[in-house]
A and B are shown apart, each in its own frame.
Chain A
Amino acid sequence: MNFVKAIVAAGLVAVSTSAFAADITGAGSTFIFPVLSKWADAYKKESGSGVNYQSIGSGAGIKQIQAKTVTFGATDAPLKADQLEKDGLAQWPMIMGAIVPVVNIDGVKAGDMALDGDTLAKIYLGTITKWDDPAIKKLNPKLNLPSAAISVVHRADGSGTTFNFTDYLSKVSADWKSKVGSGTAVEWPVGVGAKGNEGVSGNIGQAKNTIGYVEYAYAKQNKLTYTALVNKAGKTIEPTNEAFQAAASNADWANAPGYYLILTDQPGDKSWPIVASTFILMHKDATDKVASQEALKFFKFAFEKGGKMAEELDYIPMPESVVKQIEKTWSAEIKS
């Protein structure tokens, strides 16, 4: 009889602990997925609770959190304050990353070429069609550019990378704004589409006289020829961690309701002009309060201890001042 009791007791313990260590569920952005899974691994070792994150895309992540099927959603394009209000959601930026233009031209090495926003927009609009166009030559007097047609590569799938890239082009070029605009998938006037950052990297690595845009990590890992960009302050900047940090620290998070801020074309002498961030969405008054507190614990852990892991993967951690502000937002907005 004692034996039976022991089994029953063991069973009960198993059931109750498994209830406590319930997985935190989330869905959305593919951009944040690599670093989020690294955080989740570390968090599982420390606390025992796992994170079940499905990288199904920002749009789908927003839908999942609106339908309350997950505890948190992640999106590359932030929701506007009135939309957050309507859905009863809290939003904050979790991590940042940089987007860099990459090219493949004979004789041009990484960082050799400089482009400004207007030229980049004209290339993507199809009004600049050759590499030896006067506008490009003027920015790069020292480079020996071929008289070859520019072959433009863009993302074929809807993506946060495209959202931030086209948002940047819309900010720096009125022409781009009126003809194409910004979005996760837009009506590209020229070029070929490739799937994912890896698809664009593959295309650029493969063919000569191409230009594309990828997350910095992909450019670095695939040793692609990235270009320098002229930022809002008129300075030519190379994509480095300092330049990304500068853009992030110059961003005015404090005065952005619902943290609605897109980090492209930020002021500052040293700011890299195309920085993207991924936002987390959670219900302010969640039906499962235990789960949402568990999720907040995980995000707190990620802010406190995940910075280094993020840098290893070429992401940019949120500055400390912003993290403090976000933690205040949590206690103010999310009911426990």
Chain B
Amino acid sequence: MAVQSDVMEAAGPYDRARALNAFKLGDVTFYWITRICAISVLLILGGIILSLIVGAWPAMKQYGFAFLWTQRWAPSADPPVLGALGPVYGTLVTSFIAMLIAIPVGLGIAIFLTELCPQWLRRPIGIAIELLAGIPSIIYGMWGFFVLGPFLAYTFQPFMISIFDGVPVLGSIFGGPPSYLSLFNAALILAIMVLPFITAISVDVFKTVPPVLKEAAYGVGCTTWEVVRNVVIPYTRVGVIGGIMLALGRALGETMAVTFIIGNSFRITSSIFAPGTTISAAIASEFAESDGLHQSGLILLGLLLFVLTFFVLAAARLMLLRLERKAGK
């Protein structure tokens, strides 16, 4: 209101129409500027997809759908034999294990922080989590390489291998020999890296639960676990799943840290203690010196990661919709 009267005073009472026109012009300009910003996102996205397809075309023509289930990766063969199975397997396995660890721990931290934590401890833990999110991924990679890798290879891995030795299925999943560069190490680092996403977002959404609901639940004699299970989580489901998906997106695409500690091997083995590779790690290590079909194959891998991420996000959306519909009934 104040602004309007100022303008009217400046323009004089007789120029009301002109002043209104000036507003209109401002509105239209603002509308178009924001619209162009929004459209540019679509254009950039479309451009990236298009250039990925163009770059990947020679490899698509050469390998067809067999690219998806070929395990060999022999860029020096003539012609190069390239298959995405190794990197795709590595990407899915590391992300899966990372989420298996990060979701319970991340939610646990968030529940402790919002429901149980004494006031004086809240800030230090909260800040520590935020700092965890601020560490550049190369640092995680170096720490994983120099500290975590050797530690796991001499302690945790031999322990797991000896426990499950001879047990069917589990024996081959936790099969030896221990290695300081492995799928499991990469997954563990990924879990630590995505933890802050899950925790920070969960804390934020947990805070939006109306105290009245929680108090009512406590009032009828619920334990903390029951309150969290039946009030907090159902109320914040959408936000929590959103945080998890954000974390999964980062885990799928994380490059630098993973390249350091995964061992960059294209072979698929049943053991999670064996070296492997992911799509982004493969591209990061090989792109610089690649050419011809090899390069095109790497771009096709990139396109595959794009599609993979898209499907994961789409699946998450679908899951949310179904959950909401169920909740609505």
> Interface on A for B, CB 8 Å cutoff?
56-60, 62-63, 149, 151, 156-159, 166, 180-188, 191-195, 199, 202-203, 206-207
Contact = CB atoms under 8 A, between A and B. Distances in A.
Contact of A186 (B76, B146, B259, B263): B76
Contacts of B180: 206-207
A224 B73 CA distance: 30
Contact of A156 (B146, B149, B177, B264): B264
B138 to A, nearest CB: 11
Contacts of B260: 195, 199
9 contacts: A59-B288, A59-B289, A63-B291, A158-B290, A181-B77, A183-B75, A184-B76, A187-B76, A191-B265
A199 B146 CA distance: 11
B273 interface: no
B75 A192 contact: no
In the A-B complex, the 8 residue pairs with the closest CB atoms: A183-B76, A158-B289, A193-B264, A187-B74, A156-B264, A192-B263, A156-B285, A57-B288
Kindly name the residue among A57, A149, A193 whose own CB sees the greatest number of chain B CB atoms within 10 A.
A193
Interface residues of B, number: 31
A43 B294 CA distance: 37
Nearest to B82: A187
Given A58-B289, A59-B289, A59-B291, A187 B73 contact: yes
Contact of A57 (B74, B75, B146, B289): B289
Contacts of A158: 75, 285-286, 288-290
Contacts of B181: 192, 203
A66 B271 CA distance: 45
A184 B259 CA distance: 18
Nearest to B78: A181
Kindly name the residue among A182, A192, A203 whose own CB sees the greatest number of chain B CB atoms within 10 A.
A192
Interface string B275-308: 1010000000110111100100000000000000
Contacts of B77: 181, 187
A70 B10 CA distance: 61
Nearest to A160: B289
Nearest to B181: A192
Kindly name the residue among B149, B289, B290, B294 whose own CB sees the greatest number of chain A CB atoms within 10 A.
B289
A192 B277 CA distance: 10
B199 interface: no
Interface in B20-35: none
Nearest to A63: B291
B74 A157 contact: no
A194 B263 CA distance: 7
A181 B291 CA distance: 17
B179 interface: yes
Interface of B: 72-77, 81, 145-146, 149-150, 153, 177, 179-181, 259-260, 263-266, 275, 277, 285-286, 288-291, 294
Contacts of A181: 76-77
Contacts, number: 89
A157 B76 CA distance: 13
Contacts of A180: 76
A188 B77 CA distance: 12
Nearest to B264: A193
A156 B177 CA distance: 21
Given A58-B289, A185-B289, A194-B264, A207 B150 contact: yes
A157 B286 contact: yes
Given A151-B179, A187-B73, A187-B76, A59 B290 contact: yes
B235 to A, nearest CB: 46
Given A188-B265, A193-B265, 10 more contacts: A56-B288, A151-B179, A156-B285, A157-B285, A159-B289, A182-B76, A185-B75, A187-B75, A202-B146, A206-B149
Contacts of B266: 187-188
Nearest to A202: B145
Given A59-B290, A188-B265, A206-B146, A193 B76 contact: no
A166 B74 CA distance: 13
Contacts of B74: 186-187
A183 B290 CA distance: 10
A149 B153 CA distance: 14
Nearest to B180: A207
A58 B289 CA distance: 6
Contact of A193 (B75, B146, B263, B288): B263
B139 to A, nearest CB: 15
Contacts of A191: 265, 275
Kindly name the residue among B150, B277, B286, B288 whose own CB sees the greatest number of chain A CB atoms within 10 A.
B288
Nearest to B74: A187
B83 to A, nearest CB: 11
Nearest to A186: B76
A187 B72 contact: yes
Nearest to A207: B180
B150 A206 contact: yes
Nearest to A157: B285
A60 B286 CA distance: 12
A151 B149 CA distance: 15
